Amino acid sequence: MTYGLSQAGIEVLGGIDIDSACKETYEKNNPNSQFILADVTELKEKKLQNILKLKKNDDTLILVGCSPCQYWSIIRTDKTKSSKSKNLLIEFKRFVDYFLPGYILVENVPGILSHKSTSGLESFVASLEKNNYKVQYDIVNMNDYGVPQSRRRFSLLATRLHDKPVFPVPNKNNKPTVKEFLGEMHGFKKINHSNQDSTIFNHSTAKLSEKNEKRLKKTAHNGGSWLDWADDVELKRLRYRGNGFVDNYGRMSWDKPAPTITTKFISISNGRFAHPEEDRGLSIREGATLQTFPKNYIFPNTSLTISAKIIGNAVPPLFAKRLAETIIKAHNHG
């Protein structure tokens, strides 16, 4: 989000995260923005004000909340760990009420809308409207905003400076696909699984087990799935129990958007994350590119798992830029 806003010309003063693993990546790519390592549930409004020298009721101030509310995700996983962060929107509301900025931007999982009462969204919007903010929110597919993946997210924009809400306009006639971003013509040379790239390009891939390598060799190029090798006894068992996800172990298609790039995109068993042709999963740089990070964006962590987590959890910079351009246009032209 910081990088995308900055690319549009917005001065991002700082970003807050509880995960220290994000610090080096954030600072190397956003040298003019301050990384604040903090638990937002314990961070006080006055302290943030002093750290970033913020003003209350500042028409040019944008408060951005990208709380990782996996608790409200539709993915059926154990919610025990994510329950600790399920009320982050409510925590964000504290800062909104204190600063009353000119603009508010929220990006989150779609489930926050379907659970709008318990997630805090309902009371959050009501509070904004009570403070004379014009609010617009929706579930958007970022493929409609130039991102080459089918990525549905909840987005909200609010302002107290205008008579009507502001929101980016989608372009449903231009849906970028995998082949417009990946492949040799875009600088991605052919590699094997377990490739180690120590350069900034970071074209590194996870190692496949012998079993998964054999499975992938049987998977049809350009969109094939595990149904191509359904004679595998283990997968037959899963299929008949109704637990098999067709996308798991599947290949991406050149002529379609990529699936949602998650924190597990380097693993072929966690989604349709296999290369369209090569017998491997996505590299760190390929996942980042599908998230619209530029090729000179640095992921200094040597751990593939940590880098994939940072990439998968990110707001695609191109979408963040679109949000910023919408705000700038509204602010300059009323």
Residue 75 predicted with pLDDT over 60: no
| Active-site residue identified among 10, 69, 109, 320 | 69
Residue 313 predicted with pLDDT over 80: yes
Q: Is 66 noted as a catalytic residue in this protein?
A: no
Torsion of CA 209, 210, 215, 221, to 10 degrees: 80
Rounded CA-CA distance 33/18 in Å is: 16
Superfamily of domain 2-171+315-333: Vaccinia Virus protein VP39 (3.40.50.150)
- Rounded to the nearest 5°, which phi and psi values hold at 175? -110, 95
Residue 83 confidence (pLDDT): 47
How does DSSP assign 81-97, residue by residue? Answer: TGGGGTTHHHHHHHHHH
Residue pair 257/175 in contact (Cβ under 8 Å)? The answer is yes
pLDDT grade, residue 232 (50/70/90)? low
Give the chain's mean pLDDT.
Answer: 90
The pair of structure tokens assigned to 97 is 């009420």
- Rounded to the nearest 5°, which phi and psi values hold at 83? -65, -20
For residue range 267-276, what is the model confidence (pLDDT) as tens digits?
Answer: 999 999 999 9
The pair of structure tokens assigned to 242 is 């109704």
> Which sequence spans correspond to the domains of the chain?
2-171+315-333
List the alpha helices (DSSP H) in the chain.
2-7, 23-29, 45-52, 88-99, 111-114, 121-130, 210-218, 233-241, 284-290, 304-313, 317-333
Sequence-distant (≥ 6) Cβ neighbours of residue 29 within 8 angstroms = 3, 297, 298
For residue range 131-175, what is the model confidence (pLDDT) as tens digits?
Answer: 999 999 999 999 999 999 999 999 999 999 999 999 999 998 889
| pTM higher than the cut 0.75 | yes
Sequence-distant (≥ 6) Cβ neighbours of residue 146 within 8 angstroms = 171, 174, 176, 292, 318, 319, 322
For residue range 14-57, what is the model confidence (pLDDT) as tens digits?
Answer: 999 999 999 999 999 999 999 999 999 999 999 999 999 999 99
Residue 99 confidence (pLDDT): 98
pLDDT grade, residue 242 (50/70/90)? very low
Rounded CA-CA distance 242/245 in Å is: 8
More confident residue, 130 or 236: 130
Residue pair 206/194 in contact (Cβ under 8 Å)? The answer is yes
Highest average pLDDT, of 114-123, 164-173, 212-221, 278-287, comes from 278-287
Give the length of the chain: 334
CA dihedral sign, ordered 23, 282, 205, 68: positive
Rounded CA-CA distance 26/110 in Å is: 25
What is the crossing angle of helices 121-130 and 88-99, to 10°?
A: 10
Q: Which of 80-89, 168-177, 289-298, 309-318 bottoms out in mean pLDDT, i.e. has the lowest? A: 80-89
